[in-house]
Structure 1
Amino acid sequence: MFFGKLLPREGNFFELFNQHGALIADGGRSFMSMLREYSDATQREKFAAEVDGAEHAADRITAEVNRLLHRTFITPIDREQIHGLINSMDDILDLLQDVTEMLQLYDVRSIPEDALRLGEVSVRCCERVRDAVALLPKLSQPQTVEAALKTCEEIDKLESDADRIMRAAMSRLFRDELDVRELIKLKAIYEQLETISDRCEDVANLIEGIVLENS
């Protein structure tokens, strides 16, 4: 399918994807900054507000994509692919916001090193999602197809890294943490952090399918 030729007639789905992808990366960076600056209440609130703002902006883009689907007769890729991709992308920012709120609701006082490591992997996944989405309008170019598949593979590897960090974190947590309440809180937070990379992998799998079908 000739993406560039069809795009002007069909509503700019790819531009909306790009905007959403940029918000995912921005939200991820703000989230990581919040974790690093967590001991500073002012900075923590500032970066938490940025995560919240990115999530709300992304929700508006998701709603616009879904409205555009109802108004568009011919779409550049399959309708189900568009719907699945934008909603899976939205899940990533929802999770970033969820973890941000969990830290506040659970009254977490400091961020363990394992949480920082999981956060770092999550942010790298978010940035790769942005990069992969940006390649979708150029799939008529063989080098772009290769780059998109490579980026999806990188996301898969990062998700595996997050799994390993998660297993090691849980092992340390159950071995070293004597306060049961802290154990329960941190276990839930670790699990949510690891889920961010899972959702990024879901997006990568969808993009890989789109690439293979439309290149």
Structure 2
Amino acid sequence: MLFGKLLPREGNFFEMFNQHADRIVDAAHAFSQLVANYNDPHLREKYNDDVDNAERAADRVTHDVTTLLHKTFITPLDREHIHSLINTMDDVADLIQDSAETMALYDIRQMTDEITRLTELCVRCCERVRDVVKMLGRIADASVVEAARKTCEEIDRLEGDADRVLRAAMSKLFREEPDVREVIKLKAIYELLETITDRCEDVANLVEGIVLENS
């Protein structure tokens, strides 16, 4: 009996998931501002720094979750679910940072309508990820389960929209851009941005599985 009382129990995993989801949204909003103000070098640098800061903060949360997972005997969710969820969420933050870094590395000179549209979809996906992650601590409530399911469906629709934007962007790029270097650079950016929505969908799929298993 005494041994059971001394074992570390549960841990504040849900709160850490929420913190990480907030950092993802911070990174997405900063990246959106970077795109919107790309022609201003000062603002570009500022928002690029904001993306980096949000990604580093997300990394710290991921590290804290992993550390706590190793110290906690009884967890509120399956251990594999916790591990997969926090690492997939971290992939989202990493990809946002990768997108900002790739723009600088490739010396992208101006934003295209397709980058703007994909960025908008990324922001919406990240916001919905935050919303659905914040529901995890309340999945004993049937109304929360239904809300989580609908939010996951919305993320899936947004990912589908991003996929269609990507296909149209690629078609336009190969038909209209005569500079091969620009084709290579923009293709990489488009694909990175679409992959952000893919990872958001992966998070939604994990959450949906957790909800179904625990509700």
Q: TM-score, normalised by structure 2?
A: 0.96
**Deviations 1:76-113, CA, capped at 9 Å, x for gaps:** 00000000000000000100000100000000110100
Q: Which residue of 1 aligns with 2:183?
A: 183
What letter is aligned with 1:45?
Answer: E
Question: 2:16 corresponds to which residue?
Answer: 16
What's 1:5 paired with? none
Matched, 1:203 2:180: no
In structure 2, what is the equivalent of residue 28 of structure 1? 28
| Equivalences for residues 162-181 of structure 1 within 5 A | 162-181=162-181
Gaps of 5+ in 2: 1-7
Q: Matched residue of 2:81: which SS?
A: helix
Structure 2 letter corresponding to 1:85: L
Identity %: 63
Structure-2 separation of matches of 1:187 and 1:42: 26
Task: Provide the residue aligned with 2:101 in structure 1.
Answer: 101
SS in structure 1 of the partner of residue 172 of structure 2 = helix
1:3 aligned residue: none
Instruction: Give the whole-Å Cα distance in 2 for the aligned partners of 1:129 and 1:50.
Output: 20
User: Deviations 1:110-164 (Å, cap 9, x if unpaired)?
Assistant: 0100011001000100000000000000011110000011111100000000000
Partner of 1:139: 139
CA distance in 2, matches of 1:146, 1:25: 23
CA distance in 2, matches of 1:154, 1:95: 21
CA distance in 1, matches of 2:174, 2:36: 24
Q: 2-side partners of 1:142 and 1:124: how far apart?
A: 25
Q: Distance in 2 between matches of 1:86 and 1:28?
A: 17
Structure 1 residue 9 displacement after superposition: 3.8
**SS of structure 1 residue aligned to 2:117:** helix
* Displacement after TM superposition at 1:10 (Å): 1.5
Aligned position for 1:66: 66
Q: Distance in 2 between matches of 1:56 and 1:115?
A: 24
Aligned pairs, number: 208
Counterpart CA distance in 2 for 1:147 and 1:41 is 42
Structure 1 regions of 5+ residues with no counterpart? 1-7
Give CA-to-partner distance per residue, 1:43-79, whole Å, 9 cap, x none: 1111110000000000000000000010000000000
Distance 2:155 2:210 in 1: 16
Equivalent residue number for residue 119 of structure 2: 119
Residue of structure 2 in register with 1:40 after alignment: 40
The Cα offsets for residues 25-53 of structure 1, whole Å up to 9 and x where unpaired, read as: 11101101100100001111111100000
Where does residue 87 of structure 2 map in the other structure?
A: 87
Q: TM-score, normalization: structure 1?
A: 0.96
Counterpart CA distance in 1 for 2:187 and 2:58 is 28
CA distance in 2, matches of 1:36, 1:66: 35
Determine the structure 2 residue equivalent to 1:193: 193
Distance 2:150 2:205 in 1: 12
Distance 1:42 1:147 in 2: 41
| Runs of 4+ with >4 A deviation | none
Read off the aligned partner of 2:24 and give its amino acid letter: I
Quote the RMSD (CA, aligned, Å): 0.8
